[in-house]
């Protein structure tokens, strides 16, 4: 136990961001290492607390009186938030190294790093908070720095894209806020654990409207069809390190929050067959639609963005299964997608940085010049497709198993048909993945890329790290599944 | 016994370790790397061979199992505890030995065959990874762990088919596959293999998860010990048929068969190991693994329906055997002949498993499929390796560039001839004869005569294409004038011993197994007798055996004669007949176009997916969905503009102006009173006072 560890995880980066602004100018390029050090500190803190979780009964809480009505500033680290927070922190640490090289030619790096740290705090805060009002606060904190980051350091039509990103998320956030407000009106509290006691006595129709409002806000973040169109733009035009955080870490938080809020605060809705069936339908549409759209892209980053939409469909597929195994699977998908997609976005950044292009049609035959990059890209795409021994395999197996289990207990034809459709069309993921690999890495290398080579260590090692972790936890996912299922089973007791 | 179980773990751990260490050995030097790669595959041989004494012990209670805890999903009714485990029974012992021994021989052959190629570290890595995954697949005691190996071998297959990933047009003659508009570069073929098998796997997932939803386990032993009966029959039948989708994809059966011929773009060693001897048998293996489990169901359920799943697999096998065999008769590439032949022979194995389920006495069919699996693995690996030597020597994969090689490559010729005899099922001294006849017997005994006829027809076709291949490659005149190959023919020579020893060993194996065939068969039946639940008296009689042997020999002769006439003796070119009889030409073209199955893949699945996605992207995504978003934005803007001009300016602001105007005018009116003269002011003050007094008075009187 370390004093104030959870608050430290959130607030140390915020304080560090001020420090970065103060001394950033003076240390120039080295400012990136400052955010790296800060994030390392939070990562170690988080790791210690996570390893220590079994001794605290899998629940580490911190709570401070904050404001009347709103209630306490309550933070919780349990199996679920630990996994999500560790993923986010790991990605942030890796990407903070990557961006030192990637962003070296950019200006105002002090400002950039300060925003980067704030963005991180926003994400971690959303994951750790259990008070809906504070959750919303961090939800917005997550948005603003990322909006600025896209608007200033982005590419292409960055101002417009940033604006679109902001507007979409804000519309979602407003509906979410309305949902949270309605929850407060109905239950008299913002604390999700207290809500659950009251919510089960309320009429389901009213509750389902409230939950639908909350989910609407989260689904905009998750980019569930048809609320997804901000994502391809934002992911494609954000500076690559930010794309590598937006997609793998941030959008999945929508899914995380959906599990947390739905299953903790509104268990009645979570076991409502019709409501969950509508989520299942949405998830299958999103999976298939995202996969299909990925086939049509020529811009690597845009392709990866659509692939993220598809993967969020898989996550929702697990959420909609109302079963221990499906929910655990949704979490594994979050982790697997985080690792794979972060690696892939960083690889797309390698192309942009070294080859000055990100069009698939302009790249060819790079495997012989960039063998390690090629291997990492292949492994990452296979991770998305759920090929063993990567963690994605377990995610896919679990969400599928959960979905089938739910459609047979009790038996429901419509549900079964939807699930089968989803599972069969999961082939699309392997399809666009391998096709992309083939177009980028195979074939004869054009003359203008004859000097291409694997990137330098600052950009290569973070990519390798993602891949290696995906393999290791794929072979032995036990620590992960144990902490997750330990909490998830509580939803079903 | 328990001390031997460790070898079932080591068997797949060694090669996987070897694969992981390959880059390290490569860092030392090339010789160490090559040597260590082969050494690790040898360790796998040692491990699997250590399991064989179990087969000879009389009193083993099969199956032997050894498990360790792998991962937990607490509180989940399904997959709550997943254990890693190995399952040792006659089936896995036989299969693992076939895999490891053939793999080892091919690894030895690779040293010479792959010498000087680029990317050998990658080659050795994938080869050992393949061996490890294949043995993992074979020795797994549950389906989840088996899927690790299953997908792993698929990945290795992908990596090795696309080994020459540069797709150089200059290497077309050796490294590509197909010609005309159905010619594919290696990287395309690799992707195709992976995705086609993945379609089968998706169906496998569906089937497996339906079973899982009811039983809560996918452990083979638990399923056999009654868990399978928890699945209600209405769910089991579709589940099993979908489950067979995996084997159909992996073992290249109809309708997912066309990836295998294209997989020949990989190095010949890979074709021999992965796409003939071992990986493509994984599907057969899975069906064989599930067979006793499913057979239990047919005994429990009183309705005749359970047999539907066996009918399904038997017909898939029979039709595939026939169609693929027919396609082999017109192939122009030596490896493609062998590939189609592989598909066809695997069809036989599926047929055997199917008819086994249809018979009261399933042991004949069941053992027949395993027996054929073993014998096919040997002779087909030998054929591929010999074909590799031929391609190595001539520099072309097309049989039209070969011919007359008999005198240049005698060892290869004799090896290939004997292996071909085994493939065609030439009686008595070749293993292929015994195993194939056992399959035919099983289908005859099952009473499904139509299946038997398909089997018999395929025997004739097999004989034809086999000897057609031998004739085109080794007989006739040498082709010195082939435009593509040029002068190779002048310095044709026998392959080096490192290459020919492995296939000579395999050929010797198939002959030994052939000579001992009769005993081998009975020994194998006795090994699998423990599976029999309801003993039956209807063994195939000696008479059936003779009838089948006679008919199949006759079929071989029927197939051999035209092959001899056209390709060995070459008295008349085959083209003459196709020109004379237009019908024959049509059949030939139909077969040459791969029965249009391959085209159907592209026209029905690949192209529509891509064009659908492009169409949806430009119309639905950009125009409708995002268009709606932008429309909403623009609507908001123009609405606010309209509001600004019509409401804000004309109504609200107008009102403000009016009000201020009114105030102004009122003030102007009162301004006239502000004269500034003292008299007027005093009058006003007095008037004011007067009014105040009046008001006060009124208030007081009212109060």
Instruction: Tell me the average pLDDT across A393-416.
Output: 89
CB contact under 8 A, B609 and A428: yes
For residues A403 and A323, what is the distance between their CA atoms, to the nearest angstrom?
8
Which of A168, A400, A488 minimises the CB distance to B209? A400
Residue B244 CB partners (closer than 8 Å, separation 6+): B207, B287, B309, B312, B313, B316
pLDDT tens sequence across B282-325: 999 999 999 888 887 777 766 666 788 888 999 999 999 999 99
**Distance (Å) of CA B361 to CA B256, B368, B619:** 30, 12, 60
State which of B155, B187, B221 marks the end of a domain: B155
Q: Is the pLDDT of residue B165 over 70?
A: yes
Residues 6+ apart with CB under 8 A from A81: A127, A128, A256, A260
pLDDT of residue A305 exceeding 90: yes
Check if A160 contacts B (Cβ < 8 Å). Answer: no
Mean pLDDT of chain B, nearest integer: 87
With beta carbons under 8 A apart, name residues in chain B contacting A400: 205, 209
The nearest CA of chain B is from the CA of A12 a distance in Å of: 34
Integer distance in angstroms from the first to the last C-alpha of chain A? 29
Same domain for B151 and B169, yes or no, is no
Beta bridge partners of B81: B72
Q: Is residue B485 scored above 60 in pLDDT?
A: no
Considering only CB atoms, which chain B residues are within 8 Å of A423?
Answer: 202, 205-206, 209
pLDDT at B484 over 60: no
Q: Which of B572, B592, B612 is the last residue of a domain?
A: B592
How far is Cα B698 from Cα B117, in angstroms, rounded to an integer?
120
Looking at B155, B185, B216, which one is the last position of a domain?
B155
Whether B98 and B150 map to the same domain: the answer is: yes
In tens, the pLDDT along A445-491 reads: 888 888 888 888 989 999 999 999 999 999 999 888 888 888 888 88
Contact list in A for residue B621 (CB cut-off 8 A) is 229, 293
Asked if A291 and A424 count as a contact pair (C-beta separation under 8 A), the reply is: no
Whether residue B69 is found in the same domain as residue B205:
no
- The pLDDT of residue B356 is 87
- Please identify among residues 328-367 of chain A the ones whose CB lies closer than 8 Å to any CB of chain B: 328, 365, 367
A405 contacts in chain B (CB < 8 Å): 77-78, 209, 212-213
Find the residue in A nearest to B152 (Cα). Answer: A388
User: Which residues in chain A have Cβ-Cβ distances shorter than 8 Å to B199?
Assistant: 424, 427
> What value does the mean pLDDT take over residues B665-676?
83
Residue-level length of chain A = 493
ipTM for the whole predicted complex goes beyond 0.85: yes
Name chain A contacts of B249, Cβ cutoff 8 Å: none
Helix (H) / strand (E) element for B208: namely helix B186-215
Is the peptide bond between A405 and the residue preceding it cis, with omega within 30 degrees of 0? no
Q: CA A439, CA A436: separation in Å to the nearest integer?
A: 5
| A375 CB within 8 Å of a chain B CB | no
Structural domains in chain B (count): 4
Does residue A155 have a pLDDT over 50?
yes
Residues in A closer than 8 angstroms to B206, CB to CB, are 404, 420, 423-424
- The share of chain B scoring above pLDDT 70, in percent, equals 96
Contact assessment for residue B48 and residue B97, using Cβ atoms and an 8 Å cutoff? yes
Question: Which member of A324, A444, A486 has the closest CB to residue B167?
Answer: A444
Nearest CA-CA partner of B481 in B494, B493, B490, B468: B490
Range of the domain at B703: 675-703
What phi-psi label fits residue B541: left (phi over 0), alpha (psi between -120 and 50 degrees) or beta?
A: beta
Q: B490 and B411 share a domain?
A: yes
The pLDDT value given to residue B2: 61
What is the least distance, in Å, from the CA of B134 to any CA of chain A?
13
CB contact under 8 A, B72 and A434: no
Give how far A120 is from chain B: nearest CA, Å.
29
CB proximity A464 to B under 8 Å? no
Scan residues 305-324 of A and list those with Cβ closer than 8 Å to B: 323-324
pLDDT, mean over chain A: 90
Inform me whether the pLDDT recorded for B491 exceeds 70: no
Q: Are residues B89 and B196 in the same domain?
A: no
Residue of chain A minimizing CA distance to B624? A226
Q: Do A481 and B198 touch (CB under 8 A)?
A: no
Share of chain A above pLDDT 70, in %: 100
Partner-chain residue, chosen from A226, A404, A442, that has the shortest CB–CB distance to B187: A442
The predicted pLDDT at position B481 comes to 42
Looking at residue B483, what is its pLDDT? Answer: 45
- Given a cut of 50, whether residue B482 has pLDDT beyond it is no
Q: Please name the residue of chain A whose CA is at the shortest distance from the CA of residue B618.
A: A296
What is the predicted pLDDT for the residue at B486? 47
Closest-CA distance of chain A to residue B176, Å: 12
Chain B residues touching residue A412 (CB < 8 angstroms): none
For residues B397 and B490, state if they share a domain. Answer: yes
Residues B666 and B681 in one domain: no
Instruction: Check whether B477 has a pLDDT greater than 80.
Output: no
Q: B209, B259, B606: which to substitute to probe chain A, counting the most A Cβ within 10 Å?
A: B209
Specify whether B658 is located in the same domain as B641.
yes
Q: Which residue from A226, A382, A441 is facing B155, i.e. has the nearest CB?
A: A382
- Cα A123 to chain center, whole Å? 9
Q: Both B112 and B179 in a single domain?
A: no
Under an 8 A CB cutoff, do A393 and B148 touch? yes
Q: Between A296, A393, A409, which is nearest B614 by CB?
A: A296
Q: Least CB-CB distance to B152: which of A365, A388, A492?
A: A388
pLDDT winner (highest mean) among A118-127, B428-437, B671-680: A118-127
Cβ separation A408–B210 shorter than 8 A: yes
- For residues B286 and B216, the answer to whether their CB atoms sit within 8 Å is no
For residue B115, the model assigns a pLDDT of 85
Q: Would you give the DSSP letter of residue A78?
A: E
| pLDDT of A50 above 50 | yes
Give the CA count within 13 Å in the CB-facing half-sphere of A147.
17
Among the partner residues A401, A445, A489, nearest to B79 by beta-carbon distance: A401
Cβ of B613 within 8 Å of Cβ of A486? The answer is no
Do B513 and B565 lie in one domain? The reply is yes
- Which chain B residue's Cα is nearest to A443? B166
In this prediction, residue A1 carries a pLDDT of 67
- Could you tell me which residues come within 8 angstroms of residue B438 by beta carbon, excluding any fewer than 6 positions away? B352, B364, B367, B368, B371, B372, B521
pLDDT in tens, B118-160: 889 999 999 999 999 999 999 999 999 999 999 999 999 999 9
Identify the H or E element spanning B71: strand B64-72
Domain shared by B104 and B222, yes or no? no
Binary contact (A427, B199; C-beta < 8 A): yes
Number of CB atoms found within 10 A of residue B53's CB? 12
- Kindly state whether residues B643 and B617 are assigned to the same domain: yes
Q: Do B195 and A405 touch (CB under 8 A)?
A: no
Q: A219-273, pLDDT tens digit by residue?
A: 999 999 888 888 998 988 999 999 999 888 899 999 999 998 998 888 888 888 8
Residues of A (276-305) whose Cβ lies below 8 Å from B:
289, 292-297
Question: What count of CB pairs under 8 Å joins A to B?
Answer: 160
Are A360 and A441 spatial neighbours (Cβ–Cβ below 8 Å)?
no
Q: Which of A79, A420, A425 to mutate to test the interface with B (most CBs of B within 10 A)?
A: A420
Q: Closest to A293 (Cβ–Cβ): which among B76, B185, B617?
A: B617
The neighbour count for residue B280, using CB atoms within 10 Å, is 26
The alpha carbon of residue B352 is apart from the nearest alpha carbon of chain A, in Å, by 29
In this complex, the residue of B187, B202, B617 whose CB is nearest that of residue A427 is B202
- pLDDT tens sequence across B526-549: 888 888 777 666 666 778 888 888
Mutation choice for B interface testing from A431, A473, A478 by most B CBs within 10 A: A431
From chain A, the residues in CB contact with B81 under 8 A are: none
pLDDT at B465: 92
**Residue B294 to chain A, least CA–CA distance (Å):** 21
The C-alpha of A17 sits at a distance from chain B's nearest C-alpha, in angstroms, of 35
Beta-carbon separation of A477 and B214 below 8 A: no
| Alpha-carbon B223 to chain mean position | 24
Q: What is the pTM of this model?
A: 0.91
């Amino acid at each position: 136990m370390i004093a104030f560890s959870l608050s430290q995880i959130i607030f140390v980066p915020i304080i560090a961001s001020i420090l970065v602004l103060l001394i950033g100018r003076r240390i120039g390029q080295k400012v990136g290492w400052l955010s790296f050090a800060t994030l390392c500190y939070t990562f170690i803190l988080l790791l210690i607390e996570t390893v220590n979780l079994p001794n605290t009964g899998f629940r580490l809480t911190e709570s401070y009186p904050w404001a009347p009505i709103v209630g306490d500033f309550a933070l919780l680290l349990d199996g679920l938030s630990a996994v999500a927070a560790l993923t986010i922190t790991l990605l942030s640490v890796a990407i903070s190294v990557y961006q030192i090289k990637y962003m070296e030619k950019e200006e105002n790096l002090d400002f950039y790093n300060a925003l980067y740290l704030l963005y991180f705090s926003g994400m971690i805060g959303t994951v750790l908070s259990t008070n809906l009002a504070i959750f919303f606060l961090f939800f917005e904190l997550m948005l603003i720095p990322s909006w600025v980051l896209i608007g200033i350091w982005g590419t292409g039509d960055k101002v417009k894209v940033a604006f679109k990103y902001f507007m979409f998320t804000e519309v979602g956030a407003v509906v979410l806020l309305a949902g949270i407000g309605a929850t407060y009106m109905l239950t008299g509290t913002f604390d999700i654990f207290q809500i659950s006691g009251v919510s089960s006595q309320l009429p389901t129709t009213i509750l389902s409207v409230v939950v639908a409002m909350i989910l609407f806000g989260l689904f905009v973040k998750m980019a569930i069809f048809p609320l997804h169109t901000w994502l391809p733009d934002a992911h494609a035009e954000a500076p690559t390190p930010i794309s590598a955080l937006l997609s793998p870490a941030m959008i999945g938080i929508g899914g995380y929050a959906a599990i947390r809020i739905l299953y903790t605060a509104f268990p009645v809705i979570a076991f409502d067959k019709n409501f969950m069936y509508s989520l299942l339908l949405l998830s299958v549409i999103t999976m298939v639609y995202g996969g299909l759209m990925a086939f049509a892209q020529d811009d690597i980053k845009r392709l990866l963005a659509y692939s993220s939409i598809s993967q969020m469909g898989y996550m929702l597929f697990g959420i909609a299964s109302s079963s221990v195994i499906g929910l655990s699977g949704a979490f594994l998908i979050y982790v697997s997608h985080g690792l794979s997609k972060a690696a892939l976005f960083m690889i797309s950044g390698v192309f942009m940085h070294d080859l000055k292009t990100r069009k698939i049609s302009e790249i060819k035959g790079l495997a012989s010049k960039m063998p390690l990059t090629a291997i990492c890209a292949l492994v990452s795409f296979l991770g998305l497709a759920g090929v063993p021994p990567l963690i994605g395999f377990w995610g896919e197996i679990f969400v599928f198993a959960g979905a089938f289990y739910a459609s047979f207990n009790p038996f429901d034809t419509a549900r079964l048909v939807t699930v089968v459709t989803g599972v069969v069309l999961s082939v699309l993921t392997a399809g666009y993945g391998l096709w992309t690999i083939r177009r980028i890495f195979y074939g004869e290398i054009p003359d203008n890329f004859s000097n291409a080579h694997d990137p330098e260590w600052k950009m290569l090692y973070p990519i390798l790290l993602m891949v290696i972790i995906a393999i290791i936890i794929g072979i032995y996912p036990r620590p992960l599944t144990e902490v997750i299922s330990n909490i998830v089973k509580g939803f079903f007791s | 016994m328990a001390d031997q179980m460790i070898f079932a773990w080591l068997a797949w751990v060694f090669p996987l370790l070897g694969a992981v260490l390959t880059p390290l050995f490569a860092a030392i030097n090339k010789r160490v790397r090559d040597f260590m790669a082969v050494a690790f595959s040898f360790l796998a041989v040692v491990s699997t061979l250590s399991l064989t004494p179990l087969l000879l012990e009389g009193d083993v209670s099969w199956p032997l199992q050894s498990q360790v805890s792998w991962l937990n999903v607490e509180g989940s009714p399904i997959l709550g505890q997943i254990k890693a485990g190995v399952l040792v029974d006659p089936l896995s012992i036989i299969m693992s030995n076939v895999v490891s021994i053939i793999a080892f021989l091919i690894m030895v052959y690779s040293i010479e065959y792959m010498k000087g190629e680029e990317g050998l570290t990658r080659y050795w890595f994938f080869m050992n990874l393949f061996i490890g995954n294949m043995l993992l697949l074979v020795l797994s005691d549950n389906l989840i762990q088996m899927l690790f190996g299953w997908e792993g071998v698929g990945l290795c297959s992908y990596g090795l088919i696309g080994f020459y990933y540069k797709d150089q047009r200059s290497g077309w003659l050796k490294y590509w596959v197909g010609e005309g508009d159905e010619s594919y570069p290696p990287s395309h073929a690799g992707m195709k293999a992976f995705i086609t098998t993945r379609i089968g796997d998706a169906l496998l997932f569906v089937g497996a998860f339906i079973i899982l939803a009811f039983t809560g386990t996918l452990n083979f032993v638990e399923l056999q010990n009654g868990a399978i009966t928890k699945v209600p029959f209405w769910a089991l039948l579709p589940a099993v048929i979908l489950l067979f989708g995996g084997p159909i994809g992996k073992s290249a059966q109809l309708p997912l068969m066309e990836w295998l011929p294209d997989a020949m773009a990989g190095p010949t060693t890979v074709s021999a190991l992965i796409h003939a001897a071992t990986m493509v048998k994984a599907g057969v293996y899975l069906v064989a693994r599930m067979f006793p489990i499913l057979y239990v169901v047919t005994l429990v359920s009183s309705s005749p329906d359970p047999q539907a799943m066996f009918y399904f697999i038997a017909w898939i096998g029979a039709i595939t055997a026939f169609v693929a065999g027919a396609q082999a008769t017109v192939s122009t590439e030596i490896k493609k002949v062998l590939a189609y032949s592989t598909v066809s022979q695997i069809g036989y194995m599926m047929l055997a498993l199917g008819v086994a389920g249809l018979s009261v006495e399933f042991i004949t069919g069941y053992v027949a499929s395993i027996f054929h699996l073993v014998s096919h693995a040997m002779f087909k690996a030998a054929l591929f390796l010999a074909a590799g030597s031929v391609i190595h020597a001539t520099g072309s994969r097309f049989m039209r560039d070969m011919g007359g090689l008999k005198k240049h490559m005698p060892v290869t010729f004799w090896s290939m001839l004997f292996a071909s005899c085994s493939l065609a099922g030439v009686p008595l001294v070749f293993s292929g004869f015994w195993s194939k006849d056992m399959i035919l017997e099983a289908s005859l005994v099952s009473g499904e005569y139509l299946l038997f006829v398909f089997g018999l027809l395929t025997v004739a076709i097999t004989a034809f294409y086999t000897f057609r291949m031998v004739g085109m490659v080794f007989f006739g005149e040498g082709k010195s004038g082939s435009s593509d190959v040029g002068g190779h023919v002048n310095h044709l020579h026998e392959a080096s011993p490192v290459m020919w020893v492995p296939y000579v060993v395999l050929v010797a194996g198939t002959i030994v197994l052939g000579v001992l065939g009769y005993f081998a068969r009975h020994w194998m039946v006795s090994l699998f007798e423990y599976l029999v639940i309801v003993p039956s008296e209807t063994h195939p009689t000696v008479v059936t055996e003779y009838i089948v042997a006679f008919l199949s020999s006759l079929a071989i002769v029927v197939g051999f004669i035209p092959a001899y006439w056209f390709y060995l003796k070459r008295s008349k070119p085959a083209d003459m007949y196709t020109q004379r009889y237009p019908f024959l030409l049509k059949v030939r073209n139909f077969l040459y176009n791969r029965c249009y199955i391959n085209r159907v893949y592209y026209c029905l699945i690949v192209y529509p997916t891509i064009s659908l996605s492009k169409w949806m992207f430009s119309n639905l995504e950009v125009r409708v969905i995002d268009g709606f978003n932008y429309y909403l934005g623009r609507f908001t803007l123009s609405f606010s503009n309209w509001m600004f001009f019509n409401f804000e300016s004309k109504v609200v602001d107008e009102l403000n102006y009016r009000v201020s105007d009114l105030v102004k005018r009122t003030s102007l009116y009162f301004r006239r009173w502000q004269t500034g003269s003292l008299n007027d002011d005093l009058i006003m003050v007095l008037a004011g006072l007067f009014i105040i007094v009046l008001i006060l008075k009124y208030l007081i009187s009212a109060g």
